[in-house]
Amino acid sequence: MYSGAFVMLAGVPPALGSWWGLLAVVPLILAIIWRLLDEERFLIEHLAGYGEYRQKVRYRLVPYVW
């Protein structure tokens, strides 16, 4: 879902011909990354077995990167 949101955020402004809209992409991507990290912390604390899942699945957003 998050990876798809990144593609959408980067693709919609050029598709609509709004190159100025690309300026909003960086802060929005940073906000999504912050939300992703916050969600990870929440799941570790409140979801049984999530810590073990994280150890098995190393890459959550981009394979071989993060």
Tokens of 58: 């190393």
pTM of the predicted protein model: 0.75
What single letter denotes the amino acid at residue 23? Answer: L
pLDDT in tens, the chain (66 residues): 888 998 999 999 999 999 899 999 999 999 999 999 999 999 999 999 999 999 998 887 778 877
Tokens of 48: 């049984």
Map out the domains of the chain as residue ranges.
Answer: 2-56
